[in-house]
Amino acid sequence: MKPAFAAVVIDVDSTLCGVEGIDFLAARRGGDVGSRIAALTDRAMRGEAMLESVYGERLTIVRPTEADIAALADEYRETVAPGAPNAIAAMRAAGVHLILISGGVRQAIAPLARALGFTDRDLFAVSLTFDSAGRYVSFDKSSPLATQSGKPEVVTRLLAEGRLTRPLLAVGDGATDVPLRGIADTFAAFTGFARRQRVVENADVELASFAELEQVVIGTRS
């Protein structure tokens, strides 16, 4: 059976994995840092604040070290969505092109991405820079993924370059994923970890698991 989609764009935080990376990093700081950052993240994911208005602020408050990023990489691996590895392997075996696209930290996501068979060219996230002691310096301010409109910008470019083909499915849980509805042929709200009503209302379909995603993309396996 031919897959329903030639390509699938998948969000990472609270979609592929059950963690919001910046919130995890903030919680390691103790005090009220965790609650302050979680509130900023929630506002952005609900669409109540533009991502670019909080992205740099959150990192400046948290100032994650390279050791923190390594811990986050472990957390991504430990919180991967149930059934995601098998679903990803099945979709890829059926000839579907998969990419990961995230406003999260590239260095933290990359180990899991590689373990799931994604090449570095199929992972789009925001890189951080550190000094020689492993202390936070800055983030890649040229990355569109640190902005509210970043994901559609990246996907539009990939389509124009022929690195993504249609029909295209985009999957995500937050307000930064919703604009993909105008770029992808179908936008799916992923609610396996967080159900944000505004996102669901703007989606073509709601998916609660990677088993459901696999079913939508390639149908029931024999």
Q: 10-61 pLDDT, tens per residue?
A: 999 999 999 999 989 988 988 888 888 888 878 877 777 777 878 888 898 8
* Residue 222 scores a pLDDT above 50: no
* Range 65-70 average pLDDT: 98
Identify which has the larger pLDDT, 47 or 189.
189
Which residues neighbour 27 within 8 Å (Cβ) at sequence distance 6 or greater?
33, 34
All structural domains of the chain with their residue ranges: 7-218
Which one of the listed residues 13, 23, 173, 177 is annotated catalytic?
13
Of 3.40.50.1000, 3.60.10.10, 3.40.50.1580, 3.40.50.300, which CATH number belongs to 7-218?
3.40.50.1000
pTM of the model: 0.93
Mean pLDDT of the chain: 93
Residue 152 CA to residue 144 CA, distance in Å, equals 9
Reported as a single tens digit per residue, the pLDDT across 112-130 is 999 999 999 999 999 999 9
Packed helices 84-93 and 210-218: angle between N→C axes, nearest 10 degrees:
10
* Range 180-197 average pLDDT: 96
Position 4: which residue type? A
CA 33 vs. chain centroid, Å, equals 23
Which one of the listed residues 11, 68, 173, 177 is annotated catalytic?
11
131 is an active site residue: no
Residue 85 CA to residue 82 CA, distance in Å, equals 8
204 is an active site residue: no
